Amino acid sequence: MSEVASSPVGAAPAPVLEVRGVVKAFGDNVVLRGVDLAIGEHQVVALIGGSGSGKSTLLRCASLLETVDDGQVLLDGEDITDPRIDADRVRRRMGVVFQAYNLFPHLSVLDNVTLAPTVVHGRSKGEAREEALALLARIGLSDKADEFPDRLSGGQQQRVAIVRALAVHPRVLLLDEITSALDPELVGEVLAVVREVATQGMTIVMATHEMGFARQVADTVAFLDGGVLLECGPPAQVLGDPVEARTRQFLARVIDAGRL
């Protein structure tokens, strides 16, 4: 954390994604109360916390699916919460994977993956197709390239969704509880893909309930509670020896549920 927390430009490398004092409310319900977080290149940050703690909202603000009510989000030092910027241009540099996969049901697996590279990034059909097939091969789904999403299992669909997000070569990959809608036996195959993507050096921010996975793969674990970032540090410390009482309480409940 130390190397990415501080200065914008200078000795330490600038963070890829930086959240500064972000506030977000839906009506009277204040979901984020001034969150600060910086994610350096090749870092994997796991956001943990109970339901309604603001994990998903933070990711939705970072991916410009929501406007912030105060504070800033910076991507490579550029203030992307400035209403003057072209939001579409910013979104091109991010990959987002949703809890419910959100594959396009009317397009084949291959077309789902090649859609953004060809339509948004103007790559040639052949080139996009080749790369998509290579990516699908990496996750062991080459034989499903021409299938439609509803013929795939949840785990397979989610793996395709990850590949779809990766196909645009994003600067940062945002994963919003991507295993929460999956059978326990399918969770493993999706996490294996995330692990592989992480070892390849992708910068990742993930909201997750998989504490074991966070401990193994994340460099930093951030605990959100009631819209406040209570604790942030290496997984061994936050998950093993938390400072805050609320974190301990949360982890105790997770352990009771058999999830750690």
Partner 1 sequence: MTPGVALGAPSELELSRRAWRQRRARRSTLVALLSTLLFGVVAYLVVTSAPGWPRVRTTFFSPTVAWESMPEIGAGLWLNLQVLLVGGFLVMVVGLLAALTRSLRGPAFAPLRIVATAYVDLFRGIPLIIVLYLVGFGFPALGLQGMPTSPFVLGTAAIVLVYGAYVAEVFRAGIESVHPSQRAAARSLGLNHRQTMRIVVLPQALRTVTPALLNDFVALQKDVGLISVLGAVDAVRSAQILVGQSFNFTPYVVAGLLFVLLAIPSARLADAVTARARRRQQSGSLL
Q: Which chain residues interact with partner 1 by CB under 8 A?
A: 21, 23-25, 27-28, 30, 33-34, 60, 64-72, 81-84, 87
Sign of the alpha-carbon torsion through 165, 166, 170, 171: positive
Smallest separation, CB 66 to partner 1 (Å): 6
Smallest separation, CB 258 to partner 1 (Å): 28
CA 182 to chain centre: 17
**Toward partner 1, which CB reaches closer, 20 or 246?**
20
**Toward partner 1, which CB reaches closer, 68 or 197?**
68
**Toward partner 1, which CB reaches closer, 10 or 27?**
27
Burial bucket for residue 102 (CB in 10 Å: 0-12, 13-18, 19+): middle
SS (H, E, C) 92-150: CCEEEECCCCCCCCCCCHHHHHHHHHHHHCCCCHHHHHHHHHHHHHHCCCHHHCCCCHH
**Toward partner 1, which CB reaches closer, 67 or 124?**
67
Smallest separation, CB 67 to partner 1 (Å): 6
**Toward partner 1, which CB reaches closer, 84 or 106?**
84
**Do the beta carbons of residue 209 and residue 257 sit within 8 Å?**
no
Smallest separation, CB 65 to partner 1 (Å): 5
Smallest separation, CB 142 to partner 1 (Å): 31
Residue type, 33: R
Contacts of 207 by beta carbon, 8 Å cutoff, 6+ apart: 46, 47, 48, 55, 56, 58, 59, 175, 176, 177
